[in-house]
Amino acid sequence: MPAAPHPLPAADLPPLSDVLAEARVVSLPMVTRFRGITVREAFLTRGPRGWTEFSPFVEYGDAEASAWLAAAIDFGWGDDPVPVRDTVGVNATVPSVAAGEVAGVLARFPGCRTAKVKVAEPGQQLADDVARVAAVRDVLGPEGRIRVDANTLWNVDEAEHAIHALAPYDLEYVEQPCSSVEELADVRRRVKYMGIPIAADESVRKASDPLAVARAGAADVLIVKAQPLGGIRAALGIIGLAGLPVVVSSAIDTSVGLAMGAMLAASVPHLDYDCGLGTAALLAADVTREPLTPVDGAIPVRRVEADEALLREHAADADRHAWWVARVERCYRELEQG
201 carries a ligand binding annotation? yes
The catalytic residue among 116, 118, 192, 206 is: 118
128 carries a ligand binding annotation? no
Cα–Cα distances (Å) from 129 to 52, 121, 174, 285, 300, in that order, read: 36, 8, 13, 28, 32
- Among this protein's residues, is 225 annotated catalytic? yes
Instruction: Give a three-class secondary structure readout of the chain.
Output: CCCCCCCCCHHHCCCHHHHHCCCEEEEEEEEEEECCEEEEEEEEEEECCEEEEECCCCCCCHHHHHHHHHHHHHHHHCCCCCCCCCEEEECEEECCCCHHHHHHHHCCCCCCCEEEEECCCCCCCHHHHHHHHHHHHHHHCCCCEEEEECCCCCCHHHHHHHHHHHHHHCEEEEECCCCCHHHHHHHHHHHHHHCCCEEECHHHHCCCCCCHHHHCCCCCEEEEECCCCCCHHHHHHHHHHHCCCEEEECCCCCHHHHHHHHHHHHHCCCCCCCEECCHHHHECCCCCCCCCCCECCEEECCCCCCCHHHHHHCECCHHHHHHHHHHHHHHHHHHHCC
The catalytic residue among 116, 192, 206, 225 is: 225
- Measured CA to CA, the distance from residue 152 to residue 202 in angstroms comes to 8
Tell me which residue of 276, 335, 265 sits closest to 54, measured CA to CA: 335
- Measured CA to CA, the distance from residue 165 to residue 91 in angstroms comes to 22
Q: Which amino acid is at 205?
A: R
- Among this protein's residues, is 116 annotated catalytic? no
Cα–Cα distances (Å) from 155 to 15, 46, 114, 199, in that order, read: 45, 43, 26, 15
Binding residues for Mg(2+), by number, are: 149, 175, 201
Catalytic residue list: 118, 225
Binding residues, by number, are: 149, 175, 201
